[in-house]
Amino acid sequence: FFNAVFSSAFLPNGEAQRQKDNVFRESLAELRLSATLDHPDIQIPAKYHNEAPWLPAQRHLALLPAHKSPTGKLTCIMSCVFMIFKLLFVGASGLTILEGRTDDSSVPGADDLLPVLIYVIIHANPPNLLSTIDFIDNFTPRGITGQDQYMLMQFRGAVEFIKSMLHRVVR
């Protein structure tokens, strides 16, 4: 269904929306030059630096344009967030994913996720990111709950934080 109506549904405001996405993407490209692991707004804990730049998570965001359904795009975002959690676990525990052991002190949480997610979004810089979020919001069933809802909220929060970073840079 969405393949047939994708263009109209994804960019309902046409050129104005495309322009907004392009300006955001260009701004992210500039921010990327200064967005280091210890950037004052990001501040990723040192125990996670060995996993940087979290390329497997960035690859999930690179797949966003290939999907024409909101569910497909949402799956890319959730896969990105889940991959970051897996990589944070490796960084926190010093274990390989295959060993799979953990203790409470090595389980990453939201405070660990958000700075890395911000970094990953900036460095992946997926096209039409703002339109993608609107598309998911407008066409995904409202029944998203639990882990899926948590991951989407973290992603939205990271994008909003990036917008505030860009706003401070422009001022």
Of 80, 94, 89, nearest to 123 (Cα)?
Answer: 80
CA distances 98 to 50, 52, 102, 145, Å, are: 17, 19, 12, 29
- Please write the tens of the pLDDT for every residue from 19-76: 999 999 999 999 999 999 999 999 999 888 888 899 999 999 999 999 998 999 999 9
Residue 105 has pLDDT above 70, yes or no: no
Rounded to a whole number of angstroms, the CA Rg of the chain reads 17
Report the predicted TM-score, pTM, of the whole model to 2 decimal places: 0.88
> Over the chain, what is the mean pLDDT?
87
Q: What is the pLDDT of residue 3?
A: 63
Comparing 106 with 166, the larger pLDDT belongs to 166
For 87-106, give the DSSP string: HHHHHHH---TTT----GGG
Residue 96 has pLDDT above 50, yes or no: no
